[in-house]
Amino acid sequence: MSTADRICEFLMRRGGQGFCDDCLRKALRLRNLRPVQQATEALGKSSVYRRETRFCGACGNERLTLWGRNEQKVDVPGPLTTSR
Ligand SMILES: [Zn+2]
């Protein structure tokens, strides 16, 4: 499992909270920040995540954090759509 995969999984479990590189590094128990930075930079360019200066969900500092892009918009197919 790559560092990026682990970050995705971690963010998913945290339910839409954003975290800075350093807190992600600690959460994943990694020694070096560099691979975390590389992964968050790449993920921030994807359509699923964005990288923004916001308050980190772990340390509470305003930093460059990685967020799920669709955290507020939840598409629930089925029960909530009243097509009938
Ligand atoms: Zn943090």
Helices assigned H by DSSP within the chain: 3-13, 21-27, 34-44
The whole-number pLDDT of residue 29 equals 97
The answer to whether residue 82 sits within a structural domain is: no
Q: Residue 28 domain-assigned?
A: yes
In a domain, 35, yes or no: yes
Residues 60-81, mean pLDDT to the nearest whole number: 70
Any domain includes 75: no
Return the pLDDT at 15: 82
84 lies in some domain: no
Tell me how many domains the chain contains: 1
Residue 59 belongs to some domain of the structure = yes
Tens digits of residue pLDDT in 29-62: 999 999 999 999 999 999 999 999 999 999 999 9
Instruction: Determine the structural domain holding residue 7 and report its residue range.
Output: 3-66
Q: Identify residues whose C-beta is under 5 A from ligand 1, the ion.
A: 20, 23, 56, 58-59
Q: How far is the CA of 14 from the centre of ligand 1 (A)?
A: 13
pLDDT of 80: 47
* Residue 74 reports pLDDT greater than 50: no
Is residue 81 in a domain? Answer: no
Beta strands in 6-77 (DSSP E): 19-20, 49-55, 62-68
